[in-house]
Amino acid sequence: MGKIRVHKASAKRFKITSSGNLKYKPSGWGHLKAKKDARIKYRKTKQRILSNDSEKRLKELMQISTK
C-alpha cells in the first residue's frame, strides 16, 4: 500500500477556517480589470466559503478528517 498524499492543487487553492469550512478566492481576478464592472471587482476581492456539496470531496482529496 502506497503513501497517502495530499492533492497539491487543492491544497494551494483552498484554506481551512477554524470551524472546519473551506474558503477560497473566486476566479477571474488575474488581469483585464479595467473593463470589469465595479460591483464585480468588489465581489471578486472577497473570499468565499465552499458549499457543503463540494466540501466533502475536497476534504477527501486534501486528507482532512471529517467528523
Q: Which domains does the chain have, with CATH numbers?
A: 8-61 (4.10.410.60)
pTM of the model: 0.73
- Grid coordinates of 67: 467528523
pLDDT, tens digit, for every residue of 10-65? 889 999 999 989 999 999 888 999 999 999 999 999 999 998 888 888 888 888 76
CA 43 to chain centre: 15
- Amino acid 67 reads K
Say how far apart CA 55 and CA 22 lie, in whole Å.
Answer: 7
Coil/strand/helix, residue 22: strand
Say how far apart CA 66 and CA 63 lie, in whole Å.
Answer: 9
pLDDT at 67 over 70: no
Beta bridge pairs of residue 15: 23
Predicted confidence at residue 60, as pLDDT, reads 87
Predicted confidence at residue 3, as pLDDT, reads 84
DSSP 49: E
